[in-house]
Amino acid sequence: MNKLSLIFFFIVSSIISQNNIEIYLFDITKTIDGYELNHKINISNNEGYDSQPHFYDNNTLLFASSREGQTDIVKYTIDTGEKKFINYTKNGGEYSPQRIPYSKDISAVRLDNSGLQRLYKYNINSGISEEIIPDLKVAYPLWYDDHVLFSAVIGENALELVKSDLNNNLNNILEKDIGRSLHKIPNTNLISFISKKKMNWEILAVNTSTLSIDKISDLEGNYEDICWLTKEIVLLAKKNQIVQLTISKETVWREFVNKEQLNLKNISRISVSPDGKKIAIVGE
């Protein structure tokens, strides 16, 4: 598979296979026995592709949503239910929105109709954009701070973990054959990612100070969409349920909440609000 084909494969094939998915918002309630999810709301409510939720803050969600044959970024305000597209790109679409730390601006991966794929910065109000990293095919970014970025980047044959220092214009490959799910582990200096090098995929973490990489856990089957509820509890989307693992205490994944609370199929992306009180789940 050539490089141009890979550009389309990692993002566009995901859209085709998830063409009628929606984003659901739940309240997270701590109970004596664990957790419950309540007050389910379909916040996208849109035909076509809606995915990649990211909490801009505790009251605002960003996500990628299809309209008029392309995909753009939506800002959803939780307390009012208002949805607003922040941009429109005539000859392409945007994916993987995130807030840039210490800024009101956001970043998103822009895939042009020509096949050009780059990471851009967008003004949250005007949608005015500028390219962030020239000549790097970022697919799934994760900001560590306002100038250090860890990304799943399209390599020769698979995604590669790359650290980018924007102040020094340096890009360093840290690991090859990784998944799309990159996350900060709360209250640590660790970034988690999925390694696909072995037959059974693993959660690994890179120390942002030393760049050393250590294993966190095996995955429950080869599913790759995770997020962190706390620095100890990791959640994994698995078909029609979400399972959890307490890193310091468990080796076996177990149900996060009862499947009936979710009432969803083909769950993929999951995202928890900064205060841990809400969760956004992509599914059918």
* Sequence spans of domains, the chain: 3-283
| Whole-number Å distance between alpha carbons of 192 and 205 | 4
The pLDDT score that the predictor gives to residue 250 is 87
Q: What is the pLDDT of residues 253-267, one digit of tens each?
A: 999 998 888 999 999
The pLDDT score that the predictor gives to residue 19 is 63
| Whole-number Å distance between alpha carbons of 106 and 206 | 24
Strand pairing report for 233-238 and 60-67: unpaired
The pLDDT score that the predictor gives to residue 51 is 97
| pLDDT greater than 60 at residue 8 | no
The pLDDT score that the predictor gives to residue 209 is 95
Give the total residue count for the chain: 284
The pLDDT score that the predictor gives to residue 9 is 44
Which is more confident, 78 or 135?
78
The pLDDT score that the predictor gives to residue 178 is 98
The chain-wide mean pLDDT, for the chain, equals 92
**pLDDT class of 33 with cuts at 50, 70, 90:** confident
The pLDDT score that the predictor gives to residue 68 is 84
User: Which CATH superfamily hosts domain 3-283?
Assistant: TolB, C-terminal domain (2.120.10.30)
Q: What is the pLDDT of residues 152-192, one digit of tens each?
A: 999 988 999 999 999 999 999 999 999 999 999 999 999 99
**128 Cβ partners below 8 Å, 6+ apart?**
122
Q: In terms of pTM, does the model score above 0.85? A: yes
Percent above pLDDT 90 for the chain: 80
**117 Cβ partners below 8 Å, 6+ apart?**
7, 11, 109, 110, 111, 137, 138, 139, 154
| Whole-number Å distance between alpha carbons of 137 and 159 | 10
Q: What is the pLDDT of residues 73-131, one digit of tens each?
A: 999 999 999 999 998 887 889 999 999 999 999 999 999 888 889 999 999 988 889 99
Are 234 and 228 a contacting pair, CB within 8 Å?
A: yes
The pLDDT score that the predictor gives to residue 91 is 81
Q: Give the number of other CB atoms < 10 A from CB of residue 214.
A: 9
| pLDDT greater than 50 at residue 137 | yes
Average pLDDT on 223-246 reads: 96
Query: Residue 118 carries which side chain, given as an amino acid letter?
Result: R
| pLDDT greater than 70 at residue 6 | no
CA 15 to chain centre: 14
| pLDDT greater than 60 at residue 151 | yes
**190 Cβ partners below 8 Å, 6+ apart?**
184, 205, 206, 207, 208
Beta-bridge partner residues of 110: 94, 118
The pLDDT score that the predictor gives to residue 261 is 87
| pLDDT greater than 90 at residue 17 | no
The pLDDT score that the predictor gives to residue 4 is 43
